[in-house]
Structure 1
Amino acid sequence: MLYLVENLNNNLFDLNDKVAIVTGGNKGLGKFYTIALASFGAKVFVVSSTQNGWDELREEFEKNNEFLELFQIDITTPNAAITIVNEAISRFGKIDILVNNAGMQRRNPIFEFNDKDWDEIIQLNLNAVYHLSKAVAYEMSKRKQGKIINIGSMQSFTAGKRIFPYTASKHGIAGLTKAYAEALAEYNIQVNTLSPGYIETDMTRVLKNDPVRGPEIEGHIPGGQWGEPKDLVGPLIFLASNASDYVTGVNLPVDGGYLLR
């Protein structure tokens, strides 16, 4: 035991000099992931389809003397993955971490969903993750190290009777994570899924305040309360850092025990 303690690395969670790509990292929980990674020392390359929130993000990084690059592109377009990788390398020289966060959800009763909704959601939430992960992993393989973090959901585990394509995509993310984890293990690249539970944000506040669904969700969580973005810091940094070097193919729920019931 003494040998183990003496040889522990006190910098396991240190991300200094690491370069992270975060898709959709300009708003919502994506913005939070961007700031959290930077807080632990990472240089962050944010990819987004719009420039919404860019000015606020720049101000946040400049205030703390942190490194940020922003790149606008629709990640579902042909060759977007290669373009993103080339741009990130041209600006930072390498890629250590990829957070596949960009996604969308649309809600409709079963007979009102149309093919366009299905195609667009699967294209962004699943197909784009496949292509970008492959392109980034190829670069990581040259250095024999890397972390890929796919963002899942409670719908990676459960059904969603009004969000069919979203549920399918998030189940797909869980499977894709396992496939990539096995394929990339020989290159010392760890691939995991981070699945937030019900986290209170500007976008989820309407759901939390819903007189029916709000109490239902709270009643389903053993602790009886929604999570906050800060509750994701530890799990995110763990999966992005050397602390998780022997963890791969995992779908980590951060849900306050929601899935226990």
Structure 2
Amino acid sequence: MQDQTVVIVGGASGLGLTTAKLMVERGAAKIGLIDRNEQLLASSAEALRAQGAEVATSVADISCAETAHRGFDEIVSKLGRVHALVNSAAIYPRRPILEITDEEWDLENAINVKGTYHMMVAAVRHMRSFMNSPEVTGRIVNVTSVDAFKAHPQNAHYAATKAAVVSLTKSFAQECAADGILVNSVAPAGFATDRAKELGFLPELAKASALGRAAEPVEMAEWIVMMASSRNTYATGENVVISGGYIYV
């Protein structure tokens, strides 16, 4: 990640922030954070600056194309050329399959699918302007989930959106290959975030995994960093499942 500029959507907390911190450790010089939580954005930006990174933030509603693109452009205006985009923003409202409302479906799709799409479009338009550069133009990494590949009756709408993101990843990879933009996704099983601990499913996940434990966020961030870095020169349209042997696809 040496001297790279990265935009992380959903970067104010959770896996997004863990990834940002790891990228700075690996040499990323500039980090752009896009999130809807202004207070968390401010504190997370300060933490990254303390590590030595130049940081820009944008409060944006990614479910709307206009505001999503404006948020990305705001980061570009402050940091310049963006080398990589990480889409880590998502909502995870557990609900039994027969109780999901239209409003919940719409919100889940608006953030997890449309939001991811809008940010990818913004990034591709920006990265294409550098397509005559000698190096790979850019990289996009979408955070999906193992739930895209398994039954999830307690959260079917979430699982469906993550399957949609896997499909979007493949389509963008084909569309953007000629531009030198590599597009991949990372599909974690549950890992030990504060939210996961609160929901209480980690012990069950640990029992079901081959390694007998849930992952730490940084173990997932390692794979995101790899896919977003200049070390990735060939993988595109790929989905990497990281589950500790919880699921094999």
Superposed displacement of residue 17, structure 1:
2.4
Contact 1:26 1:57 in 2 (8 A): yes
The question of 1:39 aligning with 2:31 is answered no
Match of 1:102 among 78, 89, 101: 89
| Deviation of 1:240 (Å) | 0.9
Q: 1:174 to 1:24 in 2, by over 3 A?
A: same
Equivalent in the alignment of 2:134: none
Structure 1 segments, 4+ long, off by >6 Å, are none
- In the alignment, is the contact (CA less than 8 A) between 1:27 and 1:52 conserved in 2? no
| Aligned counterpart in structure 1 of residue 171 of structure 2, from 157, 179, 201 | 179
3-state SS of the aligned residue for 1:203? helix
How many residue pairs get aligned? The number is 243
1:135-188 CA-to-partner distances (Å, cap 9, x unmatched) read 210111121210000000111211210212211100001111000001100001
The alpha carbon displacement at 1:32 in A equals: 0.7
| Matched-pair contact (CA < 8 Å) for 2:64–2:118 | no
Instruction: Please tell me whether the aligned partners of residues 191 and 202 of structure 2 are also in contact (alpha carbons under 8 angstroms).
Output: no
Q: Which among 183, 189, 197 is matched to residue 197 of structure 1?
A: 189
Partners of 1:119 and 1:181 in 2: how far apart?
26
Aligned: 1:70 with 2:57:
yes
**Which structure 1 segments of 5+ residues have no match?**
1-14
2:211 alignment partner in structure 1: 223
2:157 is aligned to 165
SS in 2 for 1:193: strand
Matched, 1:146 2:109: no
Deviation of 1:35 after TM superposition, in Å, equals 1.1
Contact 1:88 1:94 in 2 (8 A): no
Structure-1-length-normalised TM-score: 0.88
Contact 1:46 1:70 in 2 (8 A): yes
Q: Does 1:255 align with 2:243?
A: yes
The TM-score with structure 2 as length reference comes to 0.92
1:119 counterpart SS class: helix
One-letter amino acid of the counterpart of residue 198, structure 2: V
Matched, 1:28 2:14: yes
Report the counterpart of residue 49 of structure 1 in structure 2. Answer: 36
| Cα distance change on mapping 1:80 and 1:217 into 2, 3 Å | same
Answer whether contact 1:152 1:193 (CA < 8 A) is retained.
yes
Matching of residues 206-221 of structure 1 within 5 Å:
206-207=198-199, 210=200, 213-221=201-209
